[in-house]
Amino acid sequence: MRSAAPPAVAPVASGRLPLLGHLPHLAVRRVEFLQSVRGQGDIVRIFLGNRPVFVLNSPEAVHEVMVTQGRKFGKGLLFDVARPFIGNGIITSERDLHRRQRRALQPAFRRESIAACVGTMAGIAQEQVAAWRPGEVIAMDLVLRRMMTAMLVATLFSAERPDGAAAVAALGERVAEHLTTVMRGVFVGTVLPARIAASPVLGHRRYLAAAAALRELADTAVRQARQDPAGHGDLLSAMFAPTPGNPDGMTDTEARDELLSLLMAGAETTSTTLAWALHELGRHPDITDRIKAECDALPADALPGAAALPFTDRFLREVLRLHQPSWILMRRALEPVRVRGVELPAGAELIYSAVTMHRDPAHFPDPLRFDPDRWLDRPEKDLPPGAYVPFALGSRKCIGDHFAMTEMLVVLRSIVSRWRPHPVRGHRVRPVVQALIRPDALPMRVSPWPTR
């Protein structure tokens, strides 16, 4: 039965300034600002200049927008800015096209397909980790970014490139560099008015050049894969395969757009999460000991997963809680819709921050304390839907969640089996909040485990 209560109006968050709205707060203390408005209502309005944006503050509001009323929402502003670069791939597309793309990509993300990639993932991680020297200071954030991009390139672009591991690593490095520039450009274009975002001072030309270079690399990968009739069971082969809605499989342009979408969604998210994971290991040697013991007890050929590495899995879930990299998600109302009693007009822009959800003391006591064992006291299934959302939820939930968890377990196992990471004395790690929240720099000293 429809509620007869008159619709509520979302209150305007405190701190709005003439002309600028809440932009100065978002410019200086983005994440803290969003957390500060949590107490002001389930849904509040903030202003980017004159543009109103509705902020979802409760798990219930998030769940309603993402799941129960999910079909009334499209993806919104961030994705308008990303679309010229990634085209209409799975992360930007809507409705029927999105459903078709998701169905086409799904086989590549099935558990057995991911299990088939574990050898490639482990090979890349172990090769890089084996090159470290005792006592060496590793630029962990950069190394992880290249490693995770190479991993994605190896599994997306081809599992067995004829030109070998070195070529994959080199390609991974090039892709990683362009990708960082593109992600930054998309973020700048989202928060700033188009005229300001296009300013050369903000690196707009660099952004366009990096986007063109990435497109070129993706086009080449698609062309090469198309010419290779054998296929390698990788993601590109899955894209070319016929599906019920698309008997000819994807065209080259569609496959290119999907590659770019997957690179954008899957490279920096995992490398940033892992950078925070390594940072926490540096701060908690006892946790490193527990992970090392768990990894040592696992037979070399066993597949990493929550059942085989339960503590390491809990550790990663806690990293994703406290250091959620995708700190802001956006949606747009496709029609007038009432959420938690608040009337939203068609075209309303919405955001929510998983960081706000993940640091809510109502669900995570002492939320800033890093404690993997909190998940023993209150497992995810006991939380209200919408309270813990590292991979979002609903029909647009991350398709790569299991892939990402597997990759991250593989990398942690490769690193911690050989090395203990230490923070570098005198270096303070600071979060930088752009498209993702990442450490500004993460130099770490590695020492080998004593031989017994």
- Contacting positions for ligand HEM (CB under 6 A): 90-91, 102, 152, 261-262, 265-266, 269-270, 273, 325-326, 329, 390-392, 396, 398-400, 403-404
CA dihedral 195, 200, 203, 209 (to 10 degrees): 100
Token duo for residue 90: 């799975």
**What distance lies between CA 257 and its chain's CA centroid?**
18
CB of 265 to ligand HEM, least distance (A): 3
Kind of pairing between the strands at 443-448 and 137-139: antiparallel
CB of 102 to ligand HEM, least distance (A): 5
Which of 71/427 has CB closer to ligand HEM? 71
Token duo for residue 286: 């006892």
H or E element in which residue 290 lies: helix 285-297
CB of 193 to ligand HEM, least distance (A): 22
Which of 88/270 has CB closer to ligand HEM? 270
Token duo for residue 387: 């309270």
Kind of pairing between the strands at 349-352 and 51-56: parallel
Which of 92/420 has CB closer to ligand HEM? 92
CB of 390 to ligand HEM, least distance (A): 5
350, 340, 355: which is closest to 388 by C-alpha? 355
Beta bridge partners of 405: none
231, 227, 233, 278: which is closest to 252 by C-alpha? 227
Report helix, strand or coil for 390.
coil
Which of 243/261 has CB closer to ligand HEM? 261
CB-CB neighbours of 225 under 10 Å: 22
Which of 152/445 has CB closer to ligand HEM? 152
Which of 44/330 has CB closer to ligand HEM? 330
CB of 268 to ligand HEM, least distance (A): 9
Which of 266/386 has CB closer to ligand HEM? 266
Is residue 91 within 8 Å of 264, Cβ to Cβ? yes
In terms of C-beta distances under 8 Å and separation of at least 24 residues, what long-range contacts does 377-386 make, across chains too? 380/317, 383/59, 384/59, 384/60, 384/63, 385/59, 385/63, 385/67, 386/58, 386/59, 386/60, 386/61, 386/62, 386/63, 386/66, 386/357
Which of 186/262 has CB closer to ligand HEM? 262
CB of 316 to ligand HEM, least distance (A): 8
Contacts of 142 (CB under 8 A, 6+ apart): none
Which of 261/420 has CB closer to ligand HEM? 261
CB of 6 to ligand HEM, least distance (A): 31
Residue 277, CA distances (Å) to 152, 235, 273, 325, 351 in order: 19, 27, 6, 11, 26
Which of 56/445 has CB closer to ligand HEM? 56
CB of 422 to ligand HEM, least distance (A): 24
CB of 272 to ligand HEM, least distance (A): 8
Cα angle for residues 349, 354, 359 (degrees, 5° grid): 135
CB of 144 to ligand HEM, least distance (A): 12
CB-closest chain residue to ligand HEM: 400
